[in-house]
Amino acid sequence: MSATTDQEPPAGVRSLWRLRGYLRPHRTALAIMLGTSLVGVGLSIAIPLLTKAIIDGPITDRDISPVLPLGLLALGLGVLEAVLIFWRRWVQSTAVLGVETAMRGDLYARLQVLPMSFHSKWQSGQLLSRVTTDLSAIRRFAGFGMLFLVINILQVTVVTAVLLAMYWPLGLVVAATAAPIVWLSMRFEKRYVVVSRRVQDEQGDLATLAEEGAVGIRVIKSFGRSEHVSRQYEDAARGLRATSMDKVRLSAKFWTFLEVIPNLAVVVVLLLGAIGVGNGRLTPGELVAFITLMLSLVWPVSSLGVILAMAQEAMTAAARVLEIFDTEPDIVSGDRRVDQPRGHLRFEHVDFAFPDAPDEPVLRDVNLDLAPGETVALVGATGSGKTILTALVPRLYDVTAGRITIDGIDVRDLELAHLRTLVATAFEEPTLFSMSARENLTLGRADASDADIDEALEIAQAQFAHDLPWGLATRIGEQGMALSGGQRQRLALARAVLAQPMILVLDDTLSALDVHTEKLVEEALRRVLAATTGLVVAHRASTVLLADRVALIQDGTITHVGDHRELLGSVPAYRELLAADADHEAARA
């Protein structure tokens, strides 16, 4: 389950009602669906009444001349009903798929808007289940359940009224069946909504385990933990099966009662109807029409279980989807732009704490000034706050105090899209997508020419991309798992360089490179950083030498800023930190 709330939001009609806006563009289709269904109800009533007229008229009078016209009329009504059903389903499919597509697009767009603080709390499987399983549940109800819930209730009401008017004693028998059905439905709704939510949440948890098993397959295999993660998955699958069986058992009991009640009513009607015909209170045609009309209620009543179950699933799904729509992003775009960007980056008394731990600051009173075109290396021990400091520049998170400015403008006042064209980031753990190498490279600059791409690949020493089976058109697989760690880092670096930002942030981007490749990349990066403001997280002395100045961060604050040689000679903590990294590199070599 998600970690966003301790209490699940209530699932009810209101959840579905809030999504009604998606139906508005399809008002015409909805009107056609409702109109054809109402005409269909009328036809289903007219045909038995026509049968009554044939039996009590020509057949009773032994006059066969009107039988053929009346029979053809009944056939015509049946054909018309079939045509209306076909038309309704055609229109219905188009409208419902349009609703689902619009909802899926908006939900995906919402996920893109929500900040890192949201995504860090939610399991990916839970988000995936909302975009797939939950939207499908809403689509099924919108395309079938919602319409037939209205039509079936209307059909039961109208047919019952006709039966009461035709012969009220038998009509009362039919009307009396409504009481146990309503009582059962209310009990079913209260219990089904709980188990339905459990099933949908457990489906999300299972999707998370499946995704983690696929993405982390190399780690799982390398540690020989296939059986362990398989057991985890099987336990979760068994739990989902058990909950689903509870759901099935509950539904089966309800549907069984819904099947029994109408059938018992048919038996009673047959008995009392035969007595009525024998007493002369009911004609044979009326009895046939009565039984035919009553049998036409068996489907609306028995399908009520399916429809109510579908409604409950849709309401639960709507509540789960609304959890995402109702989450307000804490990072809101400004409306300013930098007219002539120079890349002057400043951190002014910056504090930062994660929203769920406001009393545990990660950064405290950080001050740092990067002149246009200057490169500053950020050096610090693990957990000192380097990565979160770099994440504040493109506003993956927002400062909790102080401010960050670009050319004198607070980044919170800038348009987000504009800010993220000014700043490009290459992360230590590169993220690649299951698309072609070219598409991965041009994510930050879609109009890049082949020459620009080749230059970026050369700078990042990622020319291997041309040697892939289909060159840059090769799909590199989800997370770039077909590539080595160093290759993924180099492609991510080339992507950041290709964006041609005013500010380039490198979060220990060279950590997976061998010494020879690192040297070549650093030589090429010097040319790029000469015209770009650079903030480089560094662990190696060779990376530090890329920078004009070095900032030492300790326990969430910058304690020293200066030239590498100056800090090496005057700051023991800095010297010890680089010496430890050098020893680590030597041990790795």
Q: Could you tell me how many residues make up the chain?
A: 589
Residue 492 identity: A
Q: What is the pLDDT of residues 346-358, one digit of tens each?
A: 999 999 998 878 8
DSSP H/E element including 49:
helix 27-54
As given in the structure block, the two tokens for residue 465 are 């991309």
The neighbouring-strand residues paired with 352 are 363
Looking at residue 543, what is its pLDDT?
78
Give just the sign of the alpha carbon dihedral 500, 519, 476, 125: negative
What is residue 131's DSSP assignment?
A: I
The CATH superfamily holding the domain 13-325 is ABC transporter type 1, transmembrane domain (1.20.1560.10)
Q: How many H-runs (helices) and E-runs (strands) does the chain carry? A: 23, 10
How many CB atoms are closer than 10 A to CB 83? 11
Task: Check if the beta carbon of residue 132 is closer than 8 Å to that of residue 125.
Answer: no
C-alpha–C-alpha distance, residues 77 and 189, integer Å: 37
C-alpha–C-alpha distance, residues 567 and 571, integer Å: 5
pTM over the 0.85 mark: no
Q: What is the pLDDT of residues 2-61, one digit of tens each?
A: 444 444 545 578 888 888 888 888 888 888 888 888 888 888 888 888 888 878 777 776
345-588 CATH fold: Rossmann fold (3.40.50)
Region of residue 48 (left: phi > 0; alpha: psi -120 to 50; beta: else): alpha
The neighbouring-strand residues paired with 426 are 506
How many CB atoms are closer than 10 A to CB 191? 15
Q: Which residues touch 112 (CB under 8 Å, ≥6 apart)?
A: none
* Choice between 514 and 459, residue whose per-residue pLDDT is larger: 459
Q: What is the pLDDT of residues 291-331, one digit of tens each?
A: 888 777 777 776 776 787 788 888 888 988 998 898 888 88
Q: Where are the domains of the chain?
A: 13-325, 345-588
As given in the structure block, the two tokens for residue 185 are 């439905």
Task: Check if the beta carbon of residue 56 is closer than 8 Å to that of residue 286.
Answer: yes
Task: Check if the beta carbon of residue 363 is closer than 8 Å to that of residue 350.
Answer: yes
Task: Check if the beta carbon of residue 375 is closer than 8 Å to that of residue 534.
Answer: yes
Nearest of 583, 588, 423, 566 to residue 507 by alpha carbon: 423
Q: What is the pLDDT of residues 516-542, one digit of tens each?
A: 777 777 777 787 887 889 998 887 777
